[in-house]
Amino acid sequence: MECRVMATSRTLLSGLDAQLEESMGRRLVELHPTLSPVPQGKDVGRRPLGEFGRVTISQVIPDPGQPRVEFTEEALERLAKSIRDKGQLSPIRVRWSEELGKWLIIAGERRWRASQRADLTTIDCYFHEGDLNRSEVLEQQLIENLLREDLKPLEEANAFSDLMELNDWNGKQLAEALRLDPSKVSRSLALLRLPPDVQDEVESGAVSARAAYELSKLRDDNSKRELARRVAVGKLTHDQAVKAVRQRKGKPLARPRGASRTFVSENGWKVTVSSPHKGTYHDIIQALQEAIDEAEHCLNNNVQLF
């Protein structure tokens, strides 16, 4: 009996020894977390921490369907310098593509490009593990770019059109999904009604999106081209382009609002003074005085009121 008790005590003390060693910071066996027993393609070069982590930058590529396709050299170089000095301050968002065997960028392509320029070998990411269809990806990319105002007018218009086609939406449904003013969507989509060569002028910045929207109201493509050329070379301002479009559509130009003032007497009579032009109270007094003189003339000559 005594031997059995001693053996049990040694077993308990042995277990306590191991726990004591670990509680003091010592481990008899080093533990290394592994991503999977057999590394998958998406785990190569990746060091995760939940949904956030770091991956070899060569494992990340742009999404071929990204709405934004142009990045200015100056902006990229400025961001690259910031990354060299202060590091990457926010992760990019990526999703795994089995077909390409790479992580595709959902949002943050500009940061990825600048990180390459800054000679980073890894990049911080938010790894989207769930499945996303093309519509969901495009919607997220659009929202990201719209918030940052990164899209050019025609990039935005084409992305709107693609998202509408994918979901069989109209402009109003698209505006509701993206939380946008419907007028912004309709004005943007109007740019797609321009001839390709006029769209090129908009893309290059020679014709502003505001002026291009006005030109899209014309039915004749040759008229659109002619006015676009005049806008591009500085012969027409935006306001002049608006007037030119109205004239070619046969609509009268909006006339400036005039002035009107009504005075009510205690016995119920109303006297209204109006003018097609803006004026002052001095002008009103002068008009009233002339009206009084006319009324007195009618009175003196026995002109009947009714």
Give the residue carrying structure tokens 């109007």. Answer: 190
- The whole-angstrom separation of Cα 250 and Cα 134 is 44
Question: Encoding tokens for residue 296?
Answer: 């007195």
Higher pLDDT, 88 or 50: 88
Q: What is the pLDDT of residue 40?
A: 67
Query: How high does pLDDT run on average in the chain?
Result: 77
Burial letters 12-40, b for 16+ CB under 10 A, else e = eeeeeeeeeeeeeeeeeeeeeeeeeeeee
Mean pLDDT calculated for residue range 229-250: 86
Instruction: For residue 70, give the nearest of 78, 62, 82 by alpha carbon.
Output: 62
Q: How many residues in total does the chain contain?
A: 306
Identify the three-state secondary structure at position 9.
helix
- The whole-angstrom separation of Cα 173 and Cα 127 is 29
Q: How confident is the model at residue 47 (pLDDT cuts 50, 70, 90)?
A: low
Mean pLDDT calculated for residue range 82-105: 87
pTM, two decimal places: 0.48
Q: What is the pLDDT of residue 224?
A: 93
